[in-house]
Amino acid sequence: MDAEFEIIRRLNEIIPSHGRRDARAGILTGIGDDAAVLRHSRKSDWVVSCDASLEGIHFHKEIQPPESIGYKSLVRAASDLAAMGAKARFFLLTLGLPREKTGRWLDRFAAGMSRAAREMGIRLIGGDTSKNDRVEISITVFGEVEAGRAVRRSGARAGDMIFVSGRLGAAQLGLEIVRRGLARRASLKNFIRPHFFPPIRLELGEWLSHHRVPTAMMDLSDGLSTDLARLCAASRVGARISAGRIPKVRVPETLVRRRINALDLALHGGDDYQLLFTASRKSAGLLRRRIAGVPLTCIGEITRSRNILLVRADGTAWSLPARGWNPFKKK
């Protein structure tokens, strides 16, 4: 059992909460999806979500420029809006800061966050700052989606096709380069970028919800093997995907020699912030190869039997363990 899921389940059980749809209270989706959905008006719903970025867990102050910390923490939070098909509107920023970071560091952090905010069209409306002995960032994002069109994790049905956007494993490849102390090699610079400045898939998410394409959707934050298992659990289905069809990051020769494998990165690497969604065969017909400039790839299909299978090049099917990012696993 997913440790994070278990913690959320217990909080949900002990604290008065909306664990599901509660139309009278104006709650269309409560705990357990990428974001909560609140009724706003006849035309639109609010989508809200929060996300923490902690020093030493989600970013590393020695190697990550402050611009990247600001940029990525906002992208991480807003990725939950993309996952629901919402348009980003507002955000609240809670910031714990050491005093020595309240000068130049803060300006660089804010410049990175500002760039992400401009790219997304999202605006800061409030927050809370406090002294802390290290940087702690918590962001709450507000998005807007056409009434009733927020895309949940739980709608996948047997026979649906499974799609992902972009190429998977790019962020993990960047992290591996940094971890191996190769970040200064000029030939590898471009490969680090997706780790520091991940892509924003809001426009794609909005297009998909507006055209009612996905039956279920989520963002790939913890790795395909882990996130696909979550989508399938929420939808009470299974999946069968083909190793050969997964769009994988290109691994430079020097890293292939160090046993970095593109399929492993694509299956289990975290932090990609691409979208994973399912669509009926009919809806899938609406899709072009690129939507909002982003390539889409069908990697397999949803099955009635509840396991997740990976079909290898030789045609053999293997059960796919969830080996993506699990913040509470034992090291």
Query: Which region among 50-58, 203-211, 212-220, 244-252 touches its own copies (by CB under 8 A)?
Result: 50-58
Shortest spacing between CB 133 and its own copies, in angstroms: 7
Residues in the chain: 331
Among 24, 43, 99, 288, binds its own copies (CB under 8 A): 99
Q: Applying CB under 8 A, does 48 fall inside the site for its own copies?
A: yes
Q: Round to whole Å and give the CA distance between 34 and 32.
A: 7
Restricting to residues 129-158, which ones interact with its own copies according to CB under 8 A? 129-133, 136, 138, 140, 142
Q: Are 296 and 163 in contact (CB under 8 A)?
A: yes
Cβ-based nearer residue to its own copies, 27 or 192: 27
- Type of residue numbered 177: I
Cβ-based nearer residue to its own copies, 127 or 321: 127
Q: Round to whole Å and give the CA distance between 193 and 272.
A: 11
Query: Is the dihedral angle over the CA atoms 112, 196, 201, 278 positive or is it negative?
Result: negative
Q: Applying CB under 8 A, does 223 fall inside the site for its own copies?
A: no
Among 69, 84, 86, 113, binds its own copies (CB under 8 A): 113
The 3-class secondary structure across 186-251, one letter per residue, is HHHHHHHHHHHCCCCCHHHHHHHHHCCCCCEEEEECCCHHHHHHHHHHHHCCEEEEEHHHCCECCC
Among 61, 65, 114, 297, binds its own copies (CB under 8 A): 114
Shortest spacing between CB 218 and its own copies, in angstroms: 14
Nearest to 72 by CA among 115, 36, 34, 107: 115
Burial of 235 (0-12, 13-18, 19+ CB in 10 A): buried
Task: Using CB under 8 A, list all residues that contact its own copies.
Answer: 3-4, 7-8, 10-12, 14-18, 25, 27, 30-31, 33, 35-36, 38, 40-41, 48-52, 54, 56-58, 89-90, 92-97, 99, 102, 106-107, 110-111, 113-114, 117-118, 122-133, 136, 138, 140, 142, 327-328, 330
